[in-house]
Every structure is written in structure tokens, then in C-alpha cells.
Amino acid sequence: MRKVRTTLTIDDEVLRAVKVRAARTGKGDSEVIEEALRRELGLDLLERLWQGDELPEDQAIAQAVEAQHETRPSR
């Protein structure tokens, strides 16, 4: 997957939390931020669905429904 460099302006408290998570997990700041964005945007669920060929049908359906709920705007 192609990576691009960007500049973000975020709250100091959020950056501190990113750095703590990175230190605790042995990951870089960028990786922690990207993982959080993927979760929030529902991209991690979609990737699991696309890779989930071996899942039983009931689990695949449950993941699909979960992905729909994760990506729909809140009312």
C-alpha cells in the first residue's frame, strides 16, 4: 500500500496518548494514528471481510452487519 506524508494539527493531549500507545505497543506514532483512523472509518472491518473467505457464513454475515453499523452516520 502506498504511503503519503501529511501534516496534522492535533491537540497536545491526543498526541501524548498516541505517544504512550506507541511506546506500550512498540509501534511508531504514525502506525498508531493510522490504525486508529482505520478503526474509526471502518476500514479494518472491511479488510477483515475481504480476507474472511474461510469464515462460516453466520460469522461473515455478522461481520458484514457490524461493518454497516460502523460506517453509517449516527442519527
Per-residue model confidence (pLDDT) at position 75: 62
pLDDT number for residue 48: 66
Would you place residue 58 in the very low, low, confident or very high pLDDT band (cuts 50, 70, 90)?
Answer: confident
Q: Using a cut of 0.75, tell me whether the model's pTM lies above it.
A: no
- The matching CATH number, chosen from 2.60.40, 1.10.1220, 1.10.10, 1.20.1260, for 1-41 is 1.10.1220
Tens-place pLDDT, residues 7-53? 999 999 999 999 999 999 999 999 999 999 988 888 777 666 666 56
Alpha helices in the chain (DSSP H): 12-25, 29-41, 43-51, 57-71
Which cell numbers hold the place of 16? 501524548
pLDDT digits (tens, 9 = 90+) for 60-70: 788 778 888 88
